[in-house]
Chains A and B, each alone.
Chain A
Amino acid sequence: MALQTDIRYLTPMAVDKTRKKYCRFKKSGIKYIDYKDPEFLKKFLNEQGRLLPRRITGTSLKFQRKVAQAVKRARHLALLPYLTDLMK
């Protein structure tokens, strides 16, 4: 019982302070997301080739829809797979 209270950290434990997420499109002023270059779109896909949610990428709703639309077009043109394993 006593042991527990003895442990005191010199510096407060760096709990992962949630850093402010920002929408990379608003910040860099990108207006149009091109469906023709799969390399850029891959940043928004996980290993299975599925779209990452906004809470992870931090993009705003307006650009998340544009990204989703571009990814679906790229998939139609077989530039991006519908589902795969270990794409990265």
Chain B
Amino acid sequence: MNNYETVFILTPVLSETQMKETVDKFTALLKEEGGEIVNEEYWGLRKLAYPINKKTTGFYILLEFQAKPETIAKLEVNIRRDERVIRFLTFRQDKHAYEYSIKRRNLKAAKEAGQEA
């Protein structure tokens, strides 16, 4: 089971529920394949550095998960088939990347806890 992280950009024209639904579709697929979601982050609407098919903003979502290598091909086929996702990048975390992501998550959690406190 390797660690992967996927960042995908959804078209900004979607409503909140549709965005949630697309993400759930992919997470369900991963769970069904025996993968395990480690972390989900919504970066929200961000300005793109360059327009992607005539759109200048996009909804960024980061998904960190553990999965068997075969599931990645299946996941990517589904992502490509879904027209709401305008760009995606799956990345296999090596050990340095994995440690970094844990540190980043704790840092973020600590910051959020700090904000609420």
Contact = CB atoms under 8 A, between A and B. Distances in A.
Interface of A: 31-32, 34-36, 73, 75-82, 84
Interface in B16-61: 48-50, 52, 58, 60
A34 B87 contact: no
Interface stretch (B67-75, B76-84, B93-101, B109-117): B93-101
Contacts, number: 38
B52 to A, nearest CB: 6
A32 B97 contact: yes
Interface of B: 7, 9, 48-50, 52, 58, 60, 62, 87, 89, 91, 94, 96-97, 99-100, 104
Q: Is the interface of A mostly helix, strand, loop or mixed?
A: loop
B9 A77 contact: yes
A68 B104 CA distance: 21
21 contacts: A31-B96, A32-B99, A32-B100, A34-B97, A34-B100, A34-B104, A73-B89, A73-B91, A75-B49, A76-B87, A76-B89, A77-B7, A77-B60, A77-B87, A78-B52, A78-B58, A78-B87, A81-B49, A81-B50, A82-B50, A84-B49
A87 B100 CA distance: 28
Nearest to A66: B96
Nearest to A83: B50
